[in-house]
Amino acid sequence: MRTVWILALSLGIFWASDATASSNFPISSRDIGGTVTSPHGMEAGVWVIAETAELPTKFAKIVVTDDQGRFLIPDLPAAHYQVWVRGYGLVDSPKVTAATGDRLELTAVIAPNERAAAAYYPGVYWYAMLDIPGQNEFPGTGDQGNGIPPAMKSQRYWIDTLKNGCQSCHALGSPGVREVPDFFQQLGHGDAQSAWAYRTQAGQAMGYMATVLSRLGPEKGLSLFARWTERIAQGALPFESPSRPQGQERNAVYTLWDWSSPKHYLHDAISTDKRNPTVNANGLIWGAPEESTDWVPTLDPVHHVASEIRMPYLDPATPSQRDVSKGPSAYWGDEHIWDGHTSIHNLILDEDGKVWFSARIRPASNPDFCRQGSSLAAAVAYPLSESSRQITRYDPLTTTWQLIDTCFTTHHLYFGYDPDNTLWTSAGPPGSGIVGWLNTRVLRRTGDARQAQGWTPLVIDSNGNGKRDDYVEAGTTPDPSKDLHIRAAFYGVQPSPVEDVIWGQSMDVGFSRMDQPGYLIRLKPGPDPVHTALAEIYQPPPEGFGPRGLDVDSHGIVWTVLSSGHMASFDRSRCKGPLNGPDAVDGTHCPEGWTLYRFPGPQFHGADPRGSADHAYYLWVDRFNTLGLGQDVPIACTNGGEALLALVNGHFVTLRIPYPLGFFTKNVDGRIDDPAAGWKGRGLWTTSGSRANFHGEGGKTAYPKVFKVQIRPDPLAD
């Protein structure tokens, strides 16, 4: 494949167009436009980047050249810009200073060799070079055998752990990971395996990294990572190469703003009420910085102003990430760059523009009203002794906080479509076996969080009588007269817009004694959810595994992304057999409901070729066509591919943001600022999501960014 790429470079095919194209298209005083050429002719499908530091926060806009090498960067704030060309098969062109209204003739620079070209590939092309243990190495034989823990029973669980344990927080293919910093050699860790052992015991997330490594098998995992980086250092290059943007991909306009701090990272961002994308039109974008800080970042995209608001917490004893011990970082030395108490994971806007957060407000031990002996209905049915995150609400109009103590742990938040505006939550880590919610109508009326909350165990109708009965715990002796409580937990959570059910998704936990595959979970609350809620579970077909995140389209079809390297849909109406009873307890009873779509790009050698090495952290369905690719288009946040993947009519449109290198996001939502303004009045919003933003382009000086993605009718639309 690399030989083909070099031949294409030398011949100027695939992208170079006839140099006779006209450059006399209109450019307004708000735009910068022109053409991009190289010795091969007009350069089609390359990115043109314009960036300025003359606004209150750094600002950039990126477009793609058309098939004649022409470009138009629309609606730029008045300023001076640095403009340059980036693209596959190229290295960055020299930066040219320009102002709005200028017409430019830019010269692309052909990459001098294959290694220089590969430096601009998405990380997955490097990440896919990692050796994966073969199918025949599972189950693991432990420290005295192949180094893989015996609990790791199949290759799918190893890959899932790698992707959802490592790649989901750090972009493994980025330069900061695929190359071992010289700093480790200075500490006496000169060989690659020693350096990898140290790097997983340093920095702010050392505890989590050590846990994941133990699941992979510490020595086995370290040896594979070490061999990977050694081969790259010795000159090994990706075995596949990406294609330049084509078709609708060339209509994309990407707008970027700096926010927060280079020392912090953003887990999520929100722009609107996901049930109504006209809420908060032209308003602030809000961020969730998780463990890194208690300062919530905001962006005013109209005036280009980034700011912060500090989130309070109830108890001074609330733990801080700063207290976590660490070894010296290759980037920050002994400096503690994270100081978050509130662990702000996820956030959402309501119909009034108030911002709700999944956040920690106290230590984990629950108040008495959550515990055994409480009169609270949910606590009587299923008492809870701890919760690691609760809920906060911020009112931008009054600039006031409300701290809401919940007995259940929160992770993701989503409002329902019921008159109570119920806020449904997920519990995140596996094993809780419950789902919690907050009746926001009751909370607003009474101010009483105790009265407004509830939770229920996830109970399957395993005896098939159509109602909730007493239940036994999963893993205990089955009782045909009783139902079954599964210990899975919602990670993604999504109320259906078309029926009174809540969809959730649980993670694969094949590395533990639970040996649980990932499920989609359908919860029917019933009239008294604490006592009547019933769950159904559904596993992907054998070639797919590891669901993470979900959304539901306007027809009730559920969408998720799989660590096997797929986007997947599930249509329950296609199920042929019974959906309850003993045959439904493992979730394999409706393979006909699933449709899988393989992510583009390379696959690991030795892994199932039906999958991909790429991995998506989450997924969102554009029910209101806020992007412009159609109603109900599902969009995956692919970390390795450094792109948003939109599935349009069964085919992926790859919306890769090429600058800064290492684009990595965990979320997306869409907002309509002006329904009458066409493509200019709408767009998607997201943010940098890597825990180590400094692993990408810019290093320690790189700020997290807010990204706006729009699709215009053609590459020259103004």
Comparing 7-11, 54-58, 275-279, the range with the smallest average pLDDT is 7-11
Give the model's pLDDT for residue 202.
Answer: 78
pLDDT band at 209, cuts 50/70/90? confident
Distance CA 486, CA 120 (A): 45
Residue type, 541: P
Classified as helix, coil or strand, 585 is coil
pLDDT band at 707, cuts 50/70/90? very high
Distance CA 230, CA 468 (A): 56
For 259, phi then psi, to 5°, come to -155, 175
Q: Are 296 and 396 in contact (CB under 8 A)?
A: no
Average pLDDT, integer, range 73-85: 98
pLDDT band at 430, cuts 50/70/90? confident
Give the model's pLDDT for residue 474.
Answer: 87
Distance CA 152, CA 148 (A): 7
| Residue 107 structure tokens | 């010269």
pLDDT band at 16, cuts 50/70/90? very low
Distance CA 357, CA 532 (A): 28
For the chain, the distance separating the N- and C-terminal CA atoms, rounded to the nearest angstrom, is 38
Contacts 24+ apart (CB under 8 A), 439-446: 440/350, 440/415, 443/404
| Average pLDDT of the residues of the chain | 93
Distance CA 663, CA 673 (A): 25
What is the CB neighbour count within 10 angstroms for residue 705? 27
| Residue 439 structure tokens | 């009746």
Comparing 23-37, 69-83, 325-339, 496-510, the range with the smallest average pLDDT is 325-339
For 460, phi then psi, to 5°, come to -95, 140
Give the model's pLDDT for residue 329.
Answer: 83
For 127, phi then psi, to 5°, come to -60, -35
Q: Are 462 and 472 in contact (CB under 8 A)?
A: no
For 381, phi then psi, to 5°, come to -75, -35
Average pLDDT, integer, range 335-343: 93
SS3 letters for 691-709?
CCHHHCCCHHHCCCEEEEE
- State pLDDT tens for residues 453-486: 999 999 999 999 999 999 999 888 989 999 999 9
Angle at 72 between CA 68 and CA 78, to 5 degrees: 160
Angstrom distances, CA of residue 634 to CA of 37, 550, 592, 610, 647: 35, 10, 20, 20, 6
pLDDT band at 325, cuts 50/70/90? low
Distance CA 260, CA 293 (A): 10
What is the CB neighbour count within 10 angstroms for residue 327? 14
Give the model's pLDDT for residue 198.
Answer: 83
Q: What percent of the chain is modeled with pLDDT above 70?
A: 96
Which residue in 540, 550, 537, 544 sits closest to 563, CA to CA?
544
DSSP 71: E
What is the CB neighbour count within 10 angstroms for residue 314? 14
* Single pTM value for the model: 0.95
More confident residue, 533 or 14: 533
Classified as helix, coil or strand, 591 is helix
Query: Is the pLDDT assigned to residue 433 strictly greater than 60?
Result: yes
| Residue 219 structure tokens | 């020595």
Pinpoint the alpha helices (H) of 401-553. 440-446, 449-452, 529-532
For 380, phi then psi, to 5°, come to -65, -40
Phi-psi region of 698 (alpha: psi -120 to 50; beta: other; left: phi over 0): left
- State pLDDT tens for residues 572-614: 999 998 999 999 999 999 999 999 999 999 999 999 999 999 9
Which residue in 557, 694, 717, 674 sits closest to 621, CA to CA?
557
| Residue 103 structure tokens | 């017409």
Tell me the domains of the chain and their CATH numbers. Answer: 2-118 (2.60.40.1120), 123-233 (no CATH)
- State pLDDT tens for residues 108-151: 999 999 999 999 999 999 999 999 999 999 999 999 999 999 98
Distance CA 320, CA 305 (A): 29
Give the model's pLDDT for residue 37.
Answer: 98
Comparing 5-14, 234-243, 698-707, the range with the smallest average pLDDT is 5-14
pLDDT band at 197, cuts 50/70/90? confident
| Nearby residues of 234 by Cβ (< 8 Å), 6 or more positions away | none
DSSP 249: G
Query: Is the pLDDT assigned to residue 322 strictly greater than 90?
Result: no
Comparing 70-84, 250-264, 328-342, 530-544, the range with the smallest average pLDDT is 328-342
Query: Is the pLDDT assigned to residue 406 strictly greater than 70?
Result: yes
Average pLDDT, integer, range 253-258: 98
Half-sphere CA count of 587, side-chain side, radius 13 A: 24
Give the model's pLDDT for residue 22.
Answer: 66
Give the model's pLDDT for residue 21.
Answer: 52
Burial class (CB in 10 A: 0-12, 13-18, 19+), 18: exposed
Query: Is the pLDDT assigned to residue 347 strictly greater than 90?
Result: yes
Average pLDDT, integer, range 410-426: 97
Q: Are 304 and 77 in contact (CB under 8 A)?
A: yes
Q: Are 253 and 74 in contact (CB under 8 A)?
A: yes
